[in-house]
A and B are shown apart, each in its own frame.
Chain A
Amino acid sequence: MTARAPRVGVVTFPGSLDDRDAVRAVRAMGGEAVPLWHGERDLGGADAVILPGGFSYGDYLRTGAIARFAPVMEELRAFADAGRPVVGICNGFQILCEASLLPGALIRNAGRRFVCRWVDVRVETSLSPLTAGLVAGEVLRVPVKHGEGQFVARGDELDRMEGDGLVVFRYCDPDGALGAEHNPNGSAAAIAGVRNEAGNVVGLMPHPEHAIDPDLGPTGGQPMFAALLQSALEPVASGIR
């Protein structure tokens, strides 16, 4: 452990909306936030990178489909390949799936409509930058807000993900029980977040950056950001791989 604050990069694409919120969350939790620009091949010496929520490029083609070609993404891919922590929130999750840095895809909500509400998610594994140090089964309250958050994957891919423990969060009730009424978008197997095989890239539809400040609501995002700051300072390939 070093004494310095972990540096967390937050990428702004044209149409990013929750970039400022992610920056605020990093700072509130004691990290140093590093604003990054989509058009530059530079991660500013970040220890970890967040792709924030929003509608990059308006999401007119397919969510995340254009953002994945942004110059910053080449750097990000190398960063991820080197085992550094990468987090995609909402649109950031969609971009990571489009970039094949995460398995599966996100399609229109089963209910057809945009949904903004507080949900409970259950931690499925501690092997991700957002859950390091958390215990499987723990339930965190965070908001979702998206029109295209239904996680889907081919049947065999879903089996492989489950077998390899790639599911990081599932929608649940406050006690951790699963049920269709707690799944806001009809995601397969109630999946709210997933990781890659190496365990350093994680994406989720809920917005932990909006669940930090107790004056605004529940604080289920705090342990996730604490885990991220912790992971950011850990040497590459520690334990997770």
Chain B
Amino acid sequence: MNEPLHRRLGLTDDELESISSTIGRDPNPTELAMYAAMWSEHCSYKSSKVHLRNLPTDGPRVLVGPGQDAGAIDVGDGVAVVFKMESHSHPSAVEPYQGAATGVGGIVRDIISMGARPIALLDPLRFGPLTDERNRWLFDGVVAGIGGYGNCIGVPTVGGEVHFGAPHSANPTINVMCLGIAPADRLVTAAKAPPAGSLLVLFGASTGRDGIGGVSVLASRTLEDDAAESRPSVQIGDPFAGKLLIEASMEMVERGLLEGLQDLGGAGLTCAASETATRAGLGAEVDLDTVPLRQDDLEPFEILTSESQERMLAVVVPERMDDVIEVCTRWGLGAAVIGRLLDEGGTLDVRHRGAEVARVPARSLADGAPVYSRPMSVPLERDDLLADDPTFTTMTTPVGDALLRMLSAPNVASKRWVWEQYDSIVQGGTVLGPGGDAALVRIEGTLKALALATDGKGRYGALDPYLGAAHAVAESARNVACTGATPLAITNCLNFGNPERPEVMWQFAESIRGIADACRAIETPVTGGNVSFYNESGDSAIWPTAVIGMVGLIHDYRLAVRHAFGDGTLVYVMGETFPELGGSEFAESVLGVVAGRPPALDLERERSLHSLLVDSARRDLIRSAHDCGDGGLAIALAESAMAGSTGFAVSIPGDLPSHVALFAESASRAVVTVDPARASELEDLAADLRVPFARIGETGGPRMVFDQIADVTVDEATATYEDAIPKLMSGERVLREAG
């Protein structure tokens, strides 16, 4: 190991030079460790920044946009909704239970640090196929870890998604979204500038040697074969302390005791102290001897970069200090004054055992990382993949068999095995929990509810990253609209391979373009998010996956629309079906190919459909609504039938081959049911809004009948759909052989 220290810490020679010129001398090892953490890809967004600037971030409801711990929007009645999504993929690949658990803890602290009480969690997850034992271990551990933390802190996990794909075998994609609410006038934001002399108070858990190098070692490099040796870089979660941290923080915020609040996550104390000082426009001094430690032999760089969990940094004026100590004591949390904000030129001055161990401009840590415009190139195999479109493949499997096979495909099959391990009802606000199009969580004391959905379209992204990302926005908005809620804003987690590879950088830029276009058209600004690069091992990168977390609002949750069929209604398909099997679930799970051109997306049509869904709900016009997503029309119909234990008889109009008509994933469609007496009202509304529609049949009976194509009982479908993942997890094979 003759590599110089800065390279071992993940800094380039140019970056070292930049640091030296900033501070006017060579950095000492402690300072180098601080810069390495703060200038890591994970903390600095140095490869993604130039592209992220293209996202639309403004809107009349936006209270806090990107750049703070979480974004916030105004939902009326003086209520602010704070939300953010983040990845914890790298730690979860190494240690699935703790990796996922600490991911939950971290995102929850991001919400707390805005002064908001967390009220919902969602977990979008992606793994390799469950036929592989290691993937089952990862899946089992991640789900248990999410439950283990989320269930113990009393924040309901109300939704998310689970997908499986071979490229996620080495690198599972673990994202977690949290949403909280606060009185809009009480948000803790950077707009509130604390005075010089304010104390920096570290409260919560003590600091240990865990998670050293979490951001630079784990999250900003690819995982190699020796990943297991990275385990000491994974942090350990203590959800009980996390719960106490929520309650103590909320009490301090409610009593107005704080000038600022920040969580300690990636890059630990270095990040919290430098960002706090930078936002205040001040300098800061920190005395490491006052930091409560788990063992007293920690080096200064370890104290400064430790990612020990369940810690927060509060900014407190001296007169409020007694109150802060009182709150922490009552909740059984340690608290220590570790420094203060100083009016001295923005310098972060760190002392340890009487000596100065670091003295650098705070802003150079927080905002000074280089910004890279990395080279981009279109992947060579792209044209071949797009040309190899499965839409016109001859179908040999009977459609009824294909339908059952689709229902047992892990991407489509019931995720009950997952969400039954999550407490989805604590706090008493869950109007609609997991398993529907979107979750609905009401705002206590009002009739309003927030609609929440996450979507990522990795398979589309692999074929066309622009379309993949745009579809993720459209589908998440459609899911929200299906419940009757108006889509308002998004957060996102952008999961990609190594940005130093031009193909990956091109995928990233294309995805940003897709999100930007879709968010502009649907008028859902981006309030924040997270970029997760380096999700690759050897030459295997994950599918480029932009995961969107959509937040919508319904004004009266009693008018919310479910996806379950009831008896005696008429079935409509809203929107139009095209010959589009490229990148579809059918192509992958029945034909065995991931190829072709993903469905086209007309964002004007998409918006019209949302208007139709929202208007219909407001008028209490429809009995059910369900998005046509993975698996197309056939799966949407089957899911609504199974959810309501009510069959249907439909005949599919048009002249597409039956498997194309049933399984194409054309965008901007929903299955809607209506009482016969109000059918003409629905048709008139659709015509007014220029949404193409077709009445295809009616609901009732125990069978799912596709006229002259397929006939399956709801019971058989349900058994297939519900048993698939439990059987895979017990090691049994469930996939039927293709005809």
Taking beta carbons and an 8 Å cutoff, which residues of A are in contact with B? 14-15, 17-18, 20-21, 24, 39, 53-55, 57-60, 113-117, 143, 145, 147, 207, 209-210, 213, 215-216
Contact = CB atoms under 8 A, between A and B. Distances in A.
Contacts of B428: 20-21, 24, 209-210, 213, 216
Given A17-B153, A55-B240, 17 more contacts: A14-B240, A14-B331, A15-B240, A17-B154, A20-B427, A20-B428, A58-B240, A60-B240, A114-B422, A116-B151, A116-B419, A116-B420, A117-B420, A209-B428, A215-B442, A215-B558, A216-B430
B29 interface: no
Contacts of A147: 147, 151
10 contacts: A14-B243, A14-B331, A17-B243, A20-B427, A21-B428, A58-B238, A113-B147, A114-B144, A115-B420, A215-B431
B430 A15 contact: no
Nearest to B148: A114
A55 B149 CA distance: 11
A216 B239 contact: no
B39 interface: no
A211 B697 CA distance: 36
A53 B426 CA distance: 9
Contact of B423 (A113, A116, A213): A116
Interface in B535-570: 557-558
Interface in B401-458: 419-428, 430-431, 442
A210 to B, nearest CB: 5
Contacts of A58: 152, 238-241, 243
B332 interface: yes
A235 B558 CA distance: 40
B399 interface: no
B244 interface: yes
Interchain residue pairs A-B with the least CB separation, the first 10: A58-B240, A17-B154, A21-B428, A55-B152, A145-B423, A114-B421, A114-B147, A210-B425, A116-B423, A113-B421
A202 to B, nearest CB: 21
Contacts of B238: 58
Given A114-B151, A216-B428, A216-B431, A15 B243 contact: yes
A116 B243 contact: no
Contacts of A39: 330
Interface string B326-340: 000011100000000
Most buried by B among A21, A24, A210, A216: A216
B331 A143 contact: no
A94 to B, nearest CB: 14
Contacts of B558: 215
Interface residues of B, number: 31
A217 to B, nearest CB: 8
A55 B428 CA distance: 17
Contacts of A59: 152, 240
A213 B238 CA distance: 33
A115 B421 CA distance: 5
B427 A57 contact: no
Interface string B131-157: 000000000000010011001111000
B421 A54 contact: no
A55 B423 CA distance: 12
B152 A18 contact: no
Nearest to B434: A116
A14 B428 CA distance: 19
Contacts of B331: 14
Contact of A215 (B419, B426, B557): B557
Contact of A145 (B153, B330, B426, B431): B426
Nearest to B332: A14
B154 A18 contact: yes
Contacts of B244: 14-15
A17 B243 CA distance: 9
Nearest to A213: B428
A27 B240 CA distance: 28
A232 to B, nearest CB: 21
Contacts of A21: 426-428
Interface string B576-610: 00000000000000000000000000000000000
A14 B423 CA distance: 18
B427 A145 contact: no
A69 to B, nearest CB: 14
B557 to A, nearest CB: 7
A14 B410 CA distance: 39
B418 to A, nearest CB: 10
Contacts of B152: 15, 17, 55, 58-59
Interface string B500-512: 0000000000000
Contacts of B557: 215
Contacts of A117: 420
A114 B149 CA distance: 12
Nearest to A113: B421
Interface string B291-313: 00000000000000000000000
Given A14-B331, A57-B240, A215-B431, A116 B154 contact: no
A55 B332 contact: no
B130 to A, nearest CB: 16
B598 to A, nearest CB: 35
Interface string B237-268: 01111011000000000000000000000000
Contacts of A14: 240, 243-244, 331-332
B428 to A, nearest CB: 4
Given A14-B244, A143-B425, A215-B557, A54 B239 contact: no
B142 to A, nearest CB: 13
Nearest to A118: B425
A145 B239 CA distance: 17
A55 B331 CA distance: 15
Contacts of B430: 216
B421 A18 contact: no
A147 B244 CA distance: 21
Nearest to A210: B425
A56 to B, nearest CB: 9
B426 A17 contact: yes
Given A55-B239, A58-B240, A116 B422 contact: yes
Most buried by B among A15, A21, A60, A147: A15
Contacts of A15: 152, 240, 243-244
Contacts of B332: 14
A14 B240 CA distance: 8
A52 to B, nearest CB: 10
B58 to A, nearest CB: 35
Contacts of B153: 17
Nearest to A54: B154
B485 to A, nearest CB: 15
A116 B244 CA distance: 23
Contacts of A210: 425-426, 428
Contacts of A60: 240
A215 B431 CA distance: 7
Nearest to A214: B558
Contacts of A215: 431, 442, 557-558
A140 B151 CA distance: 24
Nearest to B558: A215
Contacts of B419: 116
Nearest to B241: A58
Contacts of A114: 144, 147-148, 151, 420-423
Contacts of B423: 17, 114, 116, 145
